[in-house]
């Protein structure tokens, strides 16, 4: 066996949200019960990305209550307002702001009533850990639940609605120039590969990913998105191929369409870069798809570093590498061991 | 024609009326309402239906119900004790090994089978043990970390006079 090692870098930027003047809206309702339990009705659907956790954290942070006090009702067309799909790396960036807006309005309702109850100017009050506190002394004055009770007692609401429109201007139809997206994600990955020059087999042995998250609202979830995304990028680079023959899918099961297993994925080192984006909730922006994009280029560059041959087709199957090496040999361009 | 089969599931004798060609997975889910085991591909490729049969991990979609009769079946439902999650379950949550959750029951059963056999596995042994369980969300790293942490936790418990089984 002749194993050669190589390192390669892939970099990318990616438009977050829908861009190009396509509708890109988020909306949420929020309501506080008289024990402080707060329900967020959020249209964003969580298929494992973690948006329900993000919604919980954003609402808790903005309101000044504990995440444990929040319940999220998500993606139920019978009860939640429309927030568009969870796609385009947009859920945190767009829906996060809608939830933040709803929570901010509810907090103002709480502070208005607390100010009346405590006979204290509103600007001297803040909500922390579910308590209305006096800013200067930090003293806890009254729980948010008691304030919600008073709001109801006086026939006023402890509920708010939040909306966010992330729709951008379109680019110039003639020149395609312009700023198509509200913001962009940035990521760079470093791949280390082993190439078996006899069989053409490529193994990814290490991956380091640096991803701009704006602000990591939930770092474990951000890492999960990056590791999962990079794993999809690895599959795209080395294994995954949809083969149609005469219109008939030949790769119609996981036995033929190969996705990475635990034995194919190396240690992935995640570096979360935080450059707060003023348009996202607490500076956050989308990270999901940006993690997928640089992986294949990084692997391709690492293969070039290892064997001096540019592979230009994916997935980079052993056959493709094997024949690329044969062709380079035939041209006298392959450096033998 | 339906026949009655006696299964030992999670230590309890259970009866199910099923066709001989029905899978253990279908009987667990449809007859016994044990829906923790998931039906992903139904052809032994994804691992989300993994259960233990006589202590070995199997994909229950490929086990015919007559072949499971009078043998010990352990499903994900048996792992928690009085509502307290098993260390592997707890660590999966703790370490972020769960995203969409669809692979999780099968993943945990494969890890559970590994730790019964090998209480102190290396990362490579963990990766090998769960290599038949496909996860599309996590990239596996946090799952491996969770199994490793669970192994440490379980060894610690065993060291305390074997209080936890």
Best mutation target among B40, B108, B139, B149 (most A Cβ atoms within 10 Å) is: B139
Tokens of A197: 């020059």
Question: Domains of chain A, with CATH numbers?
Answer: 3-15+182-330 (3.30.365.10), 25-165 (3.30.365.10)
| B131 and chain A in contact, CB less than 8 A | yes
| B110 and chain A in contact, CB less than 8 A | no
Residues of B in contact with A91 (CB under 8 A): none
Characterize the bridge pairing of strands A25-32 and A202-212: unpaired
pLDDT reported for residue A153 = 97
Which among B100, B138, B144 has CB closest to A47? B100
Q: A265 vs B100: CB contact, 8 Å cut-off?
A: no
The dotted CATH code for B3-78 is 3.10.20.30
Q: B139 vs A48: CB contact, 8 Å cut-off?
A: no
Cβ atoms of residues A273 and A283 within 8 Å:
no
Biggest alpha carbon–alpha carbon distance for chain B: 52
C-alpha distance across the termini of chain B, in Å: 41
pLDDT reported for residue A119 = 97
Q: Where are the beta strands (DSSP E) in A135-283?
A: 140-143, 159-165, 183-196, 202-212, 244-245, 248-249, 268-273
| Complex ipTM more than 0.90, yes or no | yes
Cβ neighbours around B159 below 10 Å, total: 9
| B100 and chain A in contact, CB less than 8 A | yes
Choice among A105, A289, A327, A335 that is catalytic: A289
Please give the Cα distance from A236 to A264 (Å, whole number).
Answer: 13
Residue boundaries of the structural domains of chain B: 3-78, 87-158
- Nearest CA to CA, how far is B138 from chain A (Å)? 4
Active site residue A274: no
Q: Which residues of A151-178 are buried (b: 16+ CB within 10 A; e: fewer)?
A: beeeeeebbbbbebebbbeebeeeeeee
Q: Give residue-wise pLDDT tens across range A32-56.
A: 999 999 999 999 999 999 999 999 9
Average pLDDT value for residue range A256-265: 97
- Nearest CA to CA, how far is A257 from chain B (Å)? 11
Q: How many pairs of residues across A and B have Cβ atoms under 8 Å apart?
A: 69
Which residue does chain B place closest to A232, by CA atoms?
B136
pLDDT reported for residue A198 = 96
Q: B137 vs A48: CB contact, 8 Å cut-off?
A: yes
Judged against a pLDDT cut of 70, whether residue A1 lies above it is answered with no
Best mutation target among A223, A229, A262 (most B Cβ atoms within 10 Å) is: A262
Cβ neighbours around A321 below 10 Å, total: 23
Indicate the fold that domain B87-158 takes in CATH.
DNA polymerase; domain 1 (1.10.150)
Judged against a pLDDT cut of 50, whether residue A205 lies above it is answered with yes
Q: Give residue-wise pLDDT tens across range B39-54.
A: 999 999 999 999 999 9
Q: Give residue-wise pLDDT tens across range A124-133.
A: 999 999 999 9
């Amino acid at each position: 066996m002749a194993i050669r090692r190589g390192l390669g870098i892939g970099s990318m930027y990616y438009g977050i949200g829908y861009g190009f003047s396509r509708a890109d809206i988020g909306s949420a309702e929020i309501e506080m019960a008289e024990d402080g339990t707060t329900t967020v009705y959020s249209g964003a659907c969580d298929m494992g990305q973690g948006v329900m956790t993000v919604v919980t954290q954003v609402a808790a942070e903005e309101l000044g209550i504990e995440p444990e006090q929040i319940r999220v009702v998500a993606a139920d067309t019978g009860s939640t307002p429309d927030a568009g799909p969870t796609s385009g790396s947009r859920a945190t960036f767009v829906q996060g702001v809608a939830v933040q807006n709803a929570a901010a309005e509810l907090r103002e309702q709480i502070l208005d009533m607390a100010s009346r109850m405590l006979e204290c100017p509103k600007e001297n009050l803040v909500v922390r850990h579910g308590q209305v506190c006096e800013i200067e002394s930090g003293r806890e004055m009254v729980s948010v639940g008691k304030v919600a009770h008073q709001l109801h007692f006086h026939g006023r609401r402890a509920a708010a609605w939040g909306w966010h429109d992330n729709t951008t201007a379109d680019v110039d139809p003639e020149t395609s120039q312009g700023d198509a997206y509200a913001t962009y994600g940035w990521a760079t990955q470093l791949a280390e590969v082993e190439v078996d020059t006899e069989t053409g087999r490529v193994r990814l042995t290490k991956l380091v990913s640096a991803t701009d998250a704006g602000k990591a609202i939930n770092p474990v979830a951000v890492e999960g998105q990056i590791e999962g995304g990079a794993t999809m990028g690895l599959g795209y680079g080395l294994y995954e191929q949809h083969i149609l023959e005469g219109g008939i899918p030949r790769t119609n099961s996981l036995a033929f369409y190969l996705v990475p297993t635990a034995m194919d994925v190396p240690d992935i080192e995640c570096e979360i870069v935080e450059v707060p984006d003023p348009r996202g909730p607490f500076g956050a922006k989308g990270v999901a798809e940006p993690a997928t994009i640089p992986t294949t280029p990084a692997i391709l560059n690492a293969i070039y570093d290892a064997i001096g041959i540019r592979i230009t087709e994916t997935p980079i199957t052993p056959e493709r590498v094997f024949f690329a090496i044969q062709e380079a040999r035939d041209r006298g361009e392959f450096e033998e061991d | 024609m339906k026949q009655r089969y006696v299964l030992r599931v999670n230590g309890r004798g259970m009866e199910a009326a099923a066709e001989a060609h029905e899978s253990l997975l279908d009987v667990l889910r449809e007859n016994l309402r044990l829906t923790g085991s998931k039906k992903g591909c139904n052809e032994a490729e994804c691992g989300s239906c993994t259960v233990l049969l006589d202590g070995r991990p199997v994909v229950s979609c490929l086990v015919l119900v007559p072949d499971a009769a009078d043998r010990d079946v352990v499903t994900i439902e048996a792992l928690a004790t009085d509502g307290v999650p098993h260390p592997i379950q707890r660590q999966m949550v703790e370490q972020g090994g769960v995203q969409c959750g669809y692979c999780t029951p099968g993943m945990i059963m494969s890890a559970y089978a590994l730790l019964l056999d090998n209480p102190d596995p290396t990362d490579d042994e963990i990766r090998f043990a769960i290599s038949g369980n496909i996860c599309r969300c996590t990239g596996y790293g946090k799952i491996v970390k969770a199994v490793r942490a669970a192994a440490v936790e379980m060894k610690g418990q065993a060291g305390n006079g074997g209080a936890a089984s």
